C-alpha cells in the first residue's frame, strides 16, 4: 500500500489513477501539485485527491510514490525540481507517451536518484482532458508499459507494477527504444493523421456541409483529434525520429494507393483493402 502518493499534473490520467487506487484502498493519502490552484482545489472537491500544494518541494515531502503526469515537454523542468527533494526510498514514475527523451531528461536531473525512476506509459485514455474527465475504471484491463533502465532498482519496478495492478491494469515491459518505435506506429501516427485530416477539411470552402453530413466512419476515425493539442504537439516533437519514419512509410503507401485509383487498378486496391481488413479483424 502507498502511504503518500504525489501526483504532479492531476488531469485525466493522474486523476483516474488516484481514483482507482482510492477505490482499491491501495493509497492512504493523495496530494496533487500543479500551477493552477483552482484546478487543484477542484480535484480535492471531487474527492480525487486529499490535498494539494503549490510547489513540488512541499508536495513530495514524505511521499512514497511520485507520478509525473505532465506533458512530456514539461517533464524536464519537473525532474529538475525533484532533484534532491525526495526521501531515499521514494519511487518516481511517469505516464508519458514517449520514453527516450523522458529518460534522457530524468538521467540529467535525478543523478543517483535515477535508480528509483521507473519510466511508464499507460495505454489508456480518452479524447477528454482535465480532472473532471477522470474515472476510476479507466485502467481496467488496459495495458501499462514499463521501460525500466539498467540502473533501475528492482524493488522500484516492483512497486510501480503493484500500483498499476491495483488500478486494474496489466503490466508489460519493453525497452525504451522499442516502446517509442511501437507507439509511433500505433498511437502517434494515427493522432497526426486525424489532426491533419480534420484540419484539411476545416480549411475547405464547403467545410460546414462536410462536418454536417459526416457519418460514423469519419467520427470514429477523427475522434482522437479532440485530444489535447499541446500534449500531442509535445509527443510528436519528442518522438520525432520514430514518427517521421512512420509518416514517410505511410506516405509511400498512400502514394501507391493514389496511383492505383488514378490508374483504376482495382486489383491493387482490392488487395490492399482485403489485407487491411484481415489484419484488423485478426489483431484488434
Compute the half-sphere exposure of residue 8: CA atoms within 13 Å on the CB side of its CA.
27
Q: Which three cell numbers stand for residue 67?
A: 507520478
Distance of alpha carbon 36 from alpha carbon 75, whole angstroms: 17
Sheet with 27-33, strands from edge to edge, namely 51-53, 27-33, 2-8, 65-68, 91-94, 117-118
Which one of 1.10.3720.10, 1.10.8.640, 1.10.760.10, 1.10.3660.10 gives the CATH number of domain 178-283? 1.10.3660.10
Please tell me the predicted confidence (pLDDT) of residue 162: 98
DSSP at 7: E
Give CATH for domain 2-174: 3.40.50.720
List the one residue out of 146, 85, 74, 79 whose CA is nearest residue 107. 79
Q: How confident is the model at residue 205 (pLDDT cuts 50, 70, 90)?
A: confident
pLDDT tens-digit map of 165-202: 999 999 999 999 999 999 999 999 999 999 999 999 88
Extents of the domains making up the chain: 2-174, 178-283
Burial of 275 (0-12, 13-18, 19+ CB in 10 A): exposed
pLDDT tens-digit map of 34-58: 888 999 999 999 999 999 999 999 9
Please name every residue paired with 242 in a beta bridge, in sequence order, or none if there are none.
none
DSSP at 205: T
Distance of alpha carbon 199 from alpha carbon 249, whole angstroms: 21
Q: What percent of the chain has pLDDT over 90?
A: 84
pLDDT tens-digit map of 95-107: 999 999 999 999 9
Amino acid at each position: 500500500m502507498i502511504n503518500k502518493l504525489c501526483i504532479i499534473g492531476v488531469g485525466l490520467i493522474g486523476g483516474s489513477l488516484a481514483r482507482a487506487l482510492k477505490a482499491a484502498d491501495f493509497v492512504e493519502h493523495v496530494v496533487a501539485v500543479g500551477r493552477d490552484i483552482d484546478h487543484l482545489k477542484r480535484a480535492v472537491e471531487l474527492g480525487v485527491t486529499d490535498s494539494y500544494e503549490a510547489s513540488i518541494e512541499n508536495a513530495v515531502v514524505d511521499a512514497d510514490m511520485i507520478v509525473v503526469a505532465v506533458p512530456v515537454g514539461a517533464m524536464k523542468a519537473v525532474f529538475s525540481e525533484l532533484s534532491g527533494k525526495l526521501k531515499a526510498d521514494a519511487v518516481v514514475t511517469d505516464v508519458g507517451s514517449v520514453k527516450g527523451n523522458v529518460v534522457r531528461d530524468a538521467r540529467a536531473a535525478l543523478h543517483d536518484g535515477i535508480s528509483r525512476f521507473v519510466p511508464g506509459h499507460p495505454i489508456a485514455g480518452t479524447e477528454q482532458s482535465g480532472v473532471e474527465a477522470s474515472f476510476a475504471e479507466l485502467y481496467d484491463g488496459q495495458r501499462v508499459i514499463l521501460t525500466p533502465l539498467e540502473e533501475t532498482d528492482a524493488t522500484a519496478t516492483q512497486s510501480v507494477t503493484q500500483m498499476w495492478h491495483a488500478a486494474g491494469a496489466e503490466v508489460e515491459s519493453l525497452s525504451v527504444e522499442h516502446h517509442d518505435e511501437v507507439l509511433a506506429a500505433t498511437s502517434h501516427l494515427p493522432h497526426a493523421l486525424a489532426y491533419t485530416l480534420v484540419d484539411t477539411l476545416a480549411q475547405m470552402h464547403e467545410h460546414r456541409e462536410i462536418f454536417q453530413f459526416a457519418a460514423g466512419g469519419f467520427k470514429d476515425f477523427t475522434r482522437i483529434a479532440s485530444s489535447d493539442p499541446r500534449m500531442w504537439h509535445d509527443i510528436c516533437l519528442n518522438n520525432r525520429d520514430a514518427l517521421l519514419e512512420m509518416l514517410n512509410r505511410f506516405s509511400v503507401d498512400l502514394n501507391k494507393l493514389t496511383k492505383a485509383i488514378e490508374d483504376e487498378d482495382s486489383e491493387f486496391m482490392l488487395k490492399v483493402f482485403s489485407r487491411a481488413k484481415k489484419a484488423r479483424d485478426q489483431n484488434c
